[in-house]
Amino acid sequence: MPARVVLGVGAGIAAYKACELLRLLTESGHEVRVVPTPDALRFVGEATWAALSGQPVATQPWTDVPNVPHVRLGQEAELVVVAPATADLLARAAAGMAGDLLTATLLTARCPVLYAPAMHTEMWQHPATQANVALLRARGATVLDPAVGRLTGKDTGPGRLPEPAEIFAVATRLLDHEEDLAGRRVVVSAGGTREEIDPVRFIGNWSSGRQGYALARTAVARGAEVTLVAANVSLPDPAGVKVVSVVSARQLLDAVTEAASSADIVVMAAAVADYRPETRHPGKLKKDAGPPEPIRLVENPDILATLARNRQTTGRPAVLVGFAAETDTSPEQATAKLVRKGCDLLVVNPVGDGLGFGTADNEAVVYGVDGSATEIPRGSKETLADAVWDLVVAGQT
């Protein structure tokens, strides 16, 4: 549904990227009022914002005084997005200052507020900025972590503005859902593990990681603090997510186990190889050396079952969700696997014939320990992700 959105723009070089975010918002039918800080106009001028939004642009509360804009904008907004959110702007917002129209709007807003930080690495990592971010999050705002990449000049590191499409995706879900995962620590695994035969060959699967990334993005939009353990995924990091990259099943086990020790919810969406070569050849196997010896396989650890055993003593995570990509999706097979794995929910999705791996859509049946079976019809992977989170939240209330 179209909504009234305030797009706040801080005084950073990344302000030019907010033009693309504005386009995404307006083309989705939202009514967007751009509120730059005064210095933000040094980077992108007032005429640009007015032309792209079709709305008047002001930086100070002295414009259109009879309508009391410093109060009215925040009161009427259904979402406030600040991109880029500079270190200075985050500090002023955390301190409750109201020296311009944007910070005054932030004080009066009672809708979801989304900050997309952008600044140099040293500024982002400074204890003052980290304290301001923690305070804003504690007050209920969604503050994304910046992306890692090229900054101004020759600098590279964390501090880059997340891509406008990623910010837009989070903004859309903030409009669609309440922050029903606020305060929850969530771990999601994604992608497919690879087990090396030699330095150039491996045993793997077709998983692209799209479903796990959709789960991570939607969890952030619903207020969660998310760690994403990604196995061999070639997708942009979701905005606001801590990403841990791994290759093999054993690396995935170590990373997920460590993250799960302080997590409230773990969703194992990664496709994990059941077996690995007993021996990894140190050099490439050569064709002219003749047929190689048969590759002896040994079983990989069952990560989902290991997490279920661990929580019997640690109590973490409170909720454990497994994924099963199956060609046999019968209820009998699914319920037996649910019991065997020891998870609370098992998401069974069919693979093959254009479904599952590498596609933009998915479908599934989610089985619960309470005997429930919830069908999720074919749709986008984000839709399936939200349906899974709906079931998780319903089971905790």
Catalytic residues: 205
Cβ-based neighbour number of residue 308 at 10 Å = 19
The two structure tokens encoding residue 157: 């590191």
Cβ neighbors of 34 (< 8 A, separation 6 or more) are 6, 7, 9, 22, 49, 50, 52, 53, 55, 57
Contacts 24+ apart (CB under 8 A), 42-49: 42/11, 43/11, 43/12, 43/13, 43/15, 43/16, 44/9, 44/15, 44/16, 44/18, 44/19, 48/19, 49/9, 49/22
Rg (CA), the chain: 24
CB burial readout 9-23, b (16+ within 10 A) else e: bbbbebbebbbebbe
Which tokens go with 323? 């994924």
Cis peptide before 236 (omega within 30 of 0): no
Tell me, what DSSP letter sits at residue 147?
Answer: E
Assigned token pair, 392: 């998780």
CA gap 240, 170 in Å, rounded? 9
- Strand runs (DSSP E) across the chain, as ranges? 4-9, 31-36, 79-85, 113-117, 142-143, 147-150, 156-160, 185-191, 195-198, 201-203, 225-231, 241-246, 265-268, 275-277, 297-299, 319-326, 345-350, 361-368, 373-380
Strands 142-143 and 147-150: unpaired
Length of the chain, please? 397
Integer Cα distance of 236 and 127 in angstroms: 27
User: What kind and span of H or E run contains 336?
Assistant: helix 331-341
Distance between CA atoms of residues 267 and 22, nearest Å: 33
Asked whether the beta carbons of 124 and 55 are under 8 A apart, the reply is no
Separation of alpha carbons 270 and 190, rounded Å: 4
